[in-house]
Amino acid sequence: MSTSFPTAARTAAVARALAGVLGMLEWREELRHEPGTCDLVLGNPQEMPLPGFVSALRHHSQPLNKDWFAYKRSEPEAREVVATSLREWRGLPFEPADIALTPGAFGALATAFRALLDPGDEVVYSLPPWFLYEPMLLAADAVPVKVRVRPADSDLDVEAIRSAIGPRTRAVIVNTPNNPTGRIYPPETLEALAAVLTDASARWGRPIWLISDEPYSRLVFSNAEFHSPSEFYPYTVISYSYGKVLLTPGERVGWLAISPEIPGREQLREAIEVAQIASGWLFPNAVLQYAVGDLEALSIDLVDLEAKRDRVVAELTDAGYHLRSPEGTFYLWVRSPEADDRAFCNRLAERKVLVLPGTICEVPGYFRVSLTAGNEMIDRALPVFRSAAAETTSAVG
């Protein structure tokens, strides 16, 4: 008789896909609370939250009726706020019914996968990716199909995506601005992608969905312009999280939006709500939904974030690192001075600077730096980056 615990085979596959992420989180937790540690791994806040965010939660925590904390689906007022914002922001006629409030972009993606994909459907996405696409797709019984971005500029390789699309392809995921590279995909790339998806949809006799993952779409630097893939291709759903622009990832609130260009989208609206309920009530908590109107007007200091980006990019470049200045997000994607990115990240960790190994994002030889740290933490980290690069170069030489 087998002594293994009888969990589902699907769970075992998801666990294998998560092994690197879970190991990284455990390693980080061992080190991040040590005095003087510079935690540049995840997009977590390293300073106190925005006062306006705290005030909004405090204000909307005061109950106005007996149902204030009752079960909530997507609250009408929150849907109206998001639809109005999207009409102005994206120039498309979004209606409140096109908006599903979700527990962050994480919940939006989980909802989209459940609503759009059948077991065995293939989903194409580009490397380096957000590191949880694969386990989430496996949990939805879908098949991840991976292509690389163009190495020279981190833009989408549209021809590689075209080649990866086949009769089982049901969706393509595009993450812009991209985590981890910070790349914002330009209109000409998105137009080319739309043409590929339109042709492939006609060839295989059903629409290929474009899942546009946009949690960083408000974190755009002054030398860049953001365009949503929904501007170019009708069969698009958009995932978004307030946790990025507010630096509050532990307060899970975001949305999934259905493009108003989708013909007969009423059926999709229903499918999304069914998926939210059946997948474990994937709606944000009541107070967070009441606060959405206040949250729309808030943001971390983008001027300060851009100044940190420019400073750290300049310092790392001067120290001999190779990286491309990001157009959005709060991450830097840096080539490791040694091929074994884990070994180099461990070298940094020994000196209390924690970064994310590129192996976690399925692209070895790189690492990711989070700029959510305060300036004092950055001051302590920069000399460590410089000395580690010099020692590695000396050892290789």
Burial 255-281 (b: 16+ CB within 10 A, else e): bbbbbbebeebeebbebbbebbeebee
Mean pLDDT of 35-60: 95
Cα–Cα distance, 173 to 148 (Å, whole number): 13
pLDDT of residue 395: 61
Percent of the chain clearing pLDDT 90 (strictly above): 89
pLDDT of residue 1: 37
Mean pLDDT of 64-74: 97
Question: In this structure, what are the phi and psi dihedrals at residue 185, rounded to the nearest 5 degrees?
Answer: -75, 130
Tens of pLDDT, residue by residue over 118-157, are: 999 999 999 999 999 999 999 999 999 999 999 999 999 9
> Confidence class of residue 396 from pLDDT cuts 50, 70 and 90?
low
Give 301: exposed, middle or buried? Use CB within 10 Å, 0-12, 13-18, 19+: exposed
Cα–Cα distance, 4 to 1 (Å, whole number): 9
Given a cut of 60, whether residue 97 has pLDDT beyond it is yes
CB atoms within 10 A of CB 52: 14
Mean of the per-residue pLDDT values for the chain?
A: 95
pLDDT of residue 31: 79
Given a cut of 80, whether residue 2 has pLDDT beyond it is no
Given a cut of 50, whether residue 14 has pLDDT beyond it is yes
Residues 6+ apart with CB under 8 A from 247: 43, 44, 45, 49, 50, 300, 372
> Confidence class of residue 30 from pLDDT cuts 50, 70 and 90?
confident
8 A C-beta contact, residue 92 and residue 212: no
> Confidence class of residue 3 from pLDDT cuts 50, 70 and 90?
low
> Confidence class of residue 84 from pLDDT cuts 50, 70 and 90?
very high
Tens of pLDDT, residue by residue over 268-327, are: 999 999 999 999 999 999 999 999 999 999 999 999 999 999 999 999 999 999 999 999
Tens of pLDDT, residue by residue over 99-109, are: 999 999 999 99
Within a 13 Å sphere around the CA of 306, how many CA atoms are in the beta-carbon half? 12
pTM of the model: 0.95
Residue that the structure tokens 């005095």 belong to: 35
pLDDT of residue 102: 98
Tens of pLDDT, residue by residue over 154-203, are: 999 999 999 999 999 999 999 999 999 999 999 999 999 999 999 999 99
